[in-house]
Amino acid sequence: MAACLRLRSPDVPRGRGPGTHGRSGCWRPGRGACRRPAPPRGGETYELIRRGGPFPYDKDGSVFGNRERLLPASKRGYWREYTVRTPGSRDRGARRIVCGGPPRVPDACFYTADHYASFRKIVE
């Protein structure tokens, strides 16, 4: 059985990096809702990250520059982005999971539903 992933909303002002407290929802990768479904299709993407792919979009796994400075500061190449499918969207949509560290066993992953305007930490 897959671990329950919890999303935590940041409690810090925008531009100061993510917090670790706040309202949370969770989902089981590839298994449906654990409590509240959050985010849609995110579990599938997280499972692909943990397996190392294959990813449905060419840009999945590309370096995320953290230009918004909402994630903890790290060297270039530490953060990578992955698309969370958006049903009905003709393009990649706005949903992403951004992970830092080793690709299959990341140090931390964050979910954004609004194309990097805000992030929620994924906690297993």
Which residues are catalytically annotated? 81, 115
DSSP, collapsed to helix, strand or coil, labels residue 71 as coil
Distance CA 65, CA 85 (A): 21
Distance CA 36, CA 27 (A): 7
Quote the Cα angle for 77-78-81, to 5°: 85
The backbone torsions φ and ψ at residue 120, rounded to the nearest 5 degrees and listed phi first, read: -125, 130
Tokens of 111: 């979910």
